Amino acid sequence: MILTKNLRIRAAAVIGAAALLTSACGGADDDSGGSGGGQTGGGGGSDAAQIVVDTTFDIKTVDPGREYEPTGQILVKALYDTLLTFADDDTTTVIPDLASYESNDDQTEFTFTVAEGRVFSDGTAVTAADAVFSLQRLQGLKGNPSFLLDGVTVTEVDEMTLKLTTAEPSPALPAILATPSCGILNSKVVLENGGATDESDQAEQFLNETSAGSGPYTLDKLDAASEAILVKNPKYNGPQTPAYDTVILRNTEPATQKMNVERGDSQVALGLSGDMIDSLAEGVEVESVPSATVVFLLINSDAATSAVTAKPEFVKAVKAAIDYDSLLEIAGRGAAQATGLVPSVFLGALPASEALKYDADAAKAAAEAAGAAGQKLTLSFPNDIDPTGLNLTTLAERVQAQLAAVGIDVDLAPAPFATEVDAYRDGKEQIGLWYWNPDYMDPANYLAFGPGQTVGLRAGWPAGANTAIEELVAKGYTTGDLAERKTVFEEWGKAMNADGPFVPLVQPGSNVVYQPTVTGVYYNPVWLINVAGLSPA
Amino acid sequence: MTRVETQDRRQQAPRRSLTRRLWRAAPPGLRQPLGLVAALVAAAWLVICLIGPVIAPHDPLAQELPRFTPPGEIAFLGTDELGRDLLSRILAGARVTIGLSLLLVCLSMLIGSVLGLLAGFFGRWVDETIMRFTDLVLAFPTVILAMVTAAALGASLFNAVLAALVVSWPPYARVVRSIVLGLRGNDFVFSGRLLGFSAARSIRVDILPNTLGPTLVLASLDIGTAALLLSGLSFLGLGAKPPTPEWGSMVSAAVSHFDKWWLGVFPGLAILTVVMSFNFIGDALRDALDPGVERR
């Protein structure tokens, strides 16, 4: 009796401790979301039956009007063509897809001519009415991506022509129309299945079972928890040449992704961190580039939040205190210093020579001038989210150590994203460590960091705080000419680096690991990877 | 034969002093190899708690070594994702984990004993109120309740101890109450009351000393559980905040670098040895102090 009880207590202790111990290695052998094994499409190179792509799922829906999560973007990109798009290997020039366009000189009126002969997956022709329906539906659903077309009026001109007008000049509109959320749906099919261009729309469930687009693939199966299966659209007649008959996207833990792609159970892995890349086995390829995600520090300019951080000298001290090269070391393969808030893949990104520089002596002097000595400040960040494989806790610990070295004492305050995001959005953080993923491929995205703009306000930086920067923000929103636009954004970037309450830190690497049997792997800031662009080597 | 005699004598003298009982009883428990090893391991950890920072080869917070160095010449147990020495962090972590576990157990014992004494001694509505409240807390799954409390209070080591305290006092209250109930009817307590002892004096002189033995056994058994609970909360991000060297959060950080085995294995082993050694000591103590337990 007593012995049994003894044993039970001992066993409980041992099992409990062992659970903690082994959890470190546990990731290796958990379920891999239906890793059927042996699914080695493309291995032969000729039949190109199927390709397996492993990723960590972040998906709610594949309804273009509602989706705004990374995995949803990958799928919707393959299922729905957009009016305009970008080539796989270019992120700066918009090219025609379902339509070509012309704009007036003010960049307020955009006329689209739908390409002749393009068809949806059921064989019906793509018309201007479908495009108008899709874009109006995106606006009317008031879902996550609806903001993309704020202030845009969509009208049908004739069967193959539509017009988009805006009150303000909108040079970013063509790039916005290339995002998967602006995918064109088969209006007849969607209307028959409960679709509408306002919040009464009931088509989401239908679209999660059946796709209704003109893209190179159609949806065969979607299980938001485990896998999505796409099959080639036999009616597709666009410019792309999808090579694989079936594309399987599986929800897989990063550690399992690594093993799967190493032994050929999958052909592509999207979720490996920079550190994992360094220990990859021989025989797999890596496409490693700086992602378009910018990780930055926010320093609150509102004296009500912190009298210390609100001082311009304090911002200067932090900017000079960070040893940017040492951050790259922990950010892993493919990472680069963020030269400004606009990431390197976009027009108007700053050259490396304009990036912030580490200067410990200047930082110490500025910290003293700001009265940071003896002050305990708080650095808040979300600790359950790893933008592009970069662990924010690790980064925050490094930043904390560097700030301490120049006499700035910060406490780390990690919190789950869902908790911390409110303090961030309300502008209540003294110092915040956050990241920004581009919504569309145009630098206008980043003007939100200006004074009085969305992110500017989160740093307690109201309108009127810096008129020079505000003028550049206004110019950035309206300048259409590409060369002029580049200059405006560079000027804005320099001014932000000098006086803005944000410290751009790193662009974590985007690492796509793939079997050498696959080609056509390109990183895209918005839809990550175009599965229709993959083909056997 | 001797066993019978010992038992008989013990029955005749139930109030022999605690230290004497410990002295007489502990050696057999510790004479077993397992008990001896456990005692040595626990003693080693307690020493590390005291002098850990002095013998640590590096500052546990300094990010001065190459990242992810495997165990070897540069760092005996390797380095972590920020180039900190793992050995130094584990040594510094002993003070956090073991120190807080001891604090937690002492506080649980204090709160539980006081409530148990009150409930057992005064009975009636006091007993009903306290014990129904104890049942209420016991009805919740321990870890879940601790997690909820820690999450509500916000992540910090102090809050983790508070959260663990919420779930760890009820066993003491129940044990102490049952002992007090048993003692209350005894002649020596009764005679004390007849002599005019106040309730406070009666508790202090006649009752409290008799509750100490079983409570200490429970406490020693509890140290391991407390260490596990606190590490668990830190593992979940509800306890120690970075960069505090805490074993649970070190294991948690190792999860995202599963191929660097040393990151998780060593802090895990630290937790394992602490939990096991204190559990074995608790077992030995119970064998020694509990008159109902047969000697093995």
Please state the domain extents for chain A: 40-55+217-288+512-527, 57-215, 294-507
Q: What is the pLDDT of residue A276?
A: 82
Q: What is the pLDDT of residue B9?
A: 42
Lowest mean pLDDT among A319-328, A396-405, B90-99, B215-224: B215-224
Highest mean pLDDT among A325-334, A418-427, A451-460: A451-460
Q: What is the pLDDT of residue B26?
A: 54
A24 touches chain B (CB under 8 A): yes
Q: What is the pLDDT of residue B156?
A: 86
Q: What is the pLDDT of residue A46?
A: 38
Is the pLDDT at A4 greater than 50? The verdict is no
The string of DSSP letters for A36-90 reads -S---TTSSSSS--EEEEEE----S---TTT--SHHHHHHHHHH---SEEE-TT-
Q: Burial letters for A24-36: b for 16+ Cβ neighbours within 10 Å, e otherwise?
A: bbebeeeebbebe
B258 touches chain A (CB under 8 A): yes
Q: Which amino acid is at A376?
A: K
Question: What digits encode the pLDDT tens for the residues A191-225?
Answer: 999 999 999 999 999 999 999 999 999 999 999 88
Is the pLDDT at A113 greater than 50? The verdict is yes
Of B237, B271, B293, the CB nearest to A17: B271
Q: What is the pLDDT of residue B32?
A: 67
Q: Which amino acid is at B266?
A: F
The string of DSSP letters for A476-510 reads HHH--SHHHHHHHHHHHHHHHHHH-SEEEEEEPEE
B73 touches chain A (CB under 8 A): no
User: Phi then psi for B75, rounded to 5 degrees?
Assistant: -140, 130
> Which class in CATH covers the domain with range A294-507?
alpha beta
A397: distance to nearest CA of chain B, Å? 6
Q: What is the pLDDT of residue B31?
A: 56
User: How far apart are the C-alpha atoms of B114 and A309, rounded to whole Å?
Assistant: 48
Q: Coil, strand or helix: which one is A162?
A: strand
B67/A391 touch (CB, cutoff 8 Å), yes or no: no
Q: Which residue of A has its CA nearest to B292?
A: A2
Terminal C-alpha separation, chain A: 68
User: Phi then psi for B202, rounded to 5 degrees?
Assistant: -60, -45
Strands A294-299 and A502-507, bridge-based pairing? antiparallel
Question: What digits encode the pLDDT tens for the residues A232-269?
Answer: 999 999 999 999 999 999 998 888 899 999 999 999 99
Q: What is the pLDDT of residue B293?
A: 52
Which chain B residues have a beta carbon less than 8 Å from that of A254? 256
Task: Work out the number of other CB atoms within 10 angstroms of the CB of residue B133.
Answer: 14
User: How far apart are the C-alpha atoms of A151 and A183, rounded to whole Å?
Assistant: 18
Quick one: average pLDDT of A15-36?
41
B268/A24 touch (CB, cutoff 8 Å), yes or no: yes
> Which class in CATH covers the domain with range A57-215?
alpha beta
- Domains along chain B with CATH numbers: 19-60+101-289 (1.10.3720.10)
Say if CB A110 and CB A164 are below 8 A apart.
yes
Question: What is this model's ipTM?
Answer: 0.78
A400 touches chain B (CB under 8 A): yes
- Quick one: which of A323, A360, A357, A315 has its CA closest to A340? A357
Task: Work out the number of other CB atoms within 10 angstroms of the CB of residue A142.
Answer: 12
Lowest mean pLDDT among A261-270, A327-336, A468-477: A327-336
Q: Which residue of A has its CA nearest to B287?
A: A2
- Quick one: which of A132, A215, A141 has its CA closest to A180? A215
Say if CB A488 and CB A496 are below 8 A apart.
no
Q: What is the pLDDT of residue A442?
A: 87
Q: What is the pLDDT of residue A34?
A: 38
User: How far apart are the C-alpha atoms of A342 and A339, rounded to whole Å?
Assistant: 8
What's the pLDDT band for A280 if we cut at 50, 70, 90? confident
**Burial level of A146, CB count in 10 A (0-12/13-18/19+)?**
middle
Residue of B142, B157, B230, B257 to mutate, interface with A, max A Cβ within 10 Å: B257
A7 touches chain B (CB under 8 A): no
Q: Which residue of A has its CA nearest to B227?
A: A17
Which of 3.40.50.920, 3.40.50.2000, 3.40.50.720, 3.40.190.10 is the CATH number of A40-55+217-288+512-527? 3.40.190.10
A401/B275 touch (CB, cutoff 8 Å), yes or no: no
Q: What is the pLDDT of residue B292?
A: 59
Residue of A393, A399, A417 to mutate, interface with B, max B Cβ within 10 Å: A393
Extract the residue ranges of chain B whose pLDDT is less than 70.
1-32, 289-296
Quick one: average pLDDT of A459-466?
93
B231 touches chain A (CB under 8 A): yes
Task: Using only the alpha carbons of chain B, give its radius of gyration.
Answer: 22
